[in-house]
Amino acid sequence: MPSYRVWYRDIAEPLVFDAASRCSEMEILEHIFAHEHINSSTDLAAQARDPAQPAPTVQYLIASNHLAPVRYTEDESEINIIE
């Protein structure tokens, strides 16, 4: 069960959570959205209405929600950056 520490918006205290398995970058963002009460479904709903429209990227979601920089560790590993 991996343990994650996630820093975003240059906050001092990380968001800490455990996951049943390794998380993708999108899953890490979903944890941030839940913690910050950010509704990311607007972009995803627009894509669902128009399948020709590409799904929002991780980079787009970070930028549009002013989360940068997003950094995380998994089980005390080295810091990874989501760009």
Counting other chains too, the contacts that 41-49 makes at CB distance below 8 Å and 24 or more residues apart are none
Q: Any idea what DSSP says for residue 6?
A: E
Predicted pLDDT of residue 54: 77
Predicted pLDDT of residue 47: 59
Tokens describing residue 32 = 């941030």
Mean pLDDT by 10 residues, the chain (83 residues): 96 97 95 90 62 81 94 95 92
Rg (CA), the chain: 13
pTM, two decimals, is 0.84
Predicted pLDDT of residue 20: 96
Predicted pLDDT of residue 43: 61
**What's at 46, amino acid-wise?**
A
